[in-house]
Copies of this chain bind each other. A is one copy, B any other.
Amino acid sequence: MYRIGELSALYDIKADTLRFYEKHGLLSPSSRSDSGYRLYNQDDSERLKFILRAKAVGFSLNDIADLLSIEVDKSNRACAEVKGLVDTKLEQVEAKLAELQHFATSLKSLSNTCCGGPDSAEHCSILEALESSDQHIIAKKEQHHFSHSGHKD
Contact = CB atoms under 8 A, between A and B. Distances in A.
Interface stretch (A9-17, A18-26, A72-80, A136-144): A72-80
| Complex copy number for this chain | 2
Contact of A115 (B50, B67, B83): B83
Given A90-B111, A93-B107, A114-B79, A57 B124 contact: no
B46 A99 contact: no
B126 A68 contact: yes
B100 A93 contact: yes
A67 B71 CA distance: 38
Contacts of A54: 103
Contacts of A102: 53
B58 A56 contact: yes
Given A67-B126, A103-B53, A126-B50, A115 B80 contact: yes
A118 B73 CA distance: 20
Nearest to A54: B103
B70 A126 contact: yes
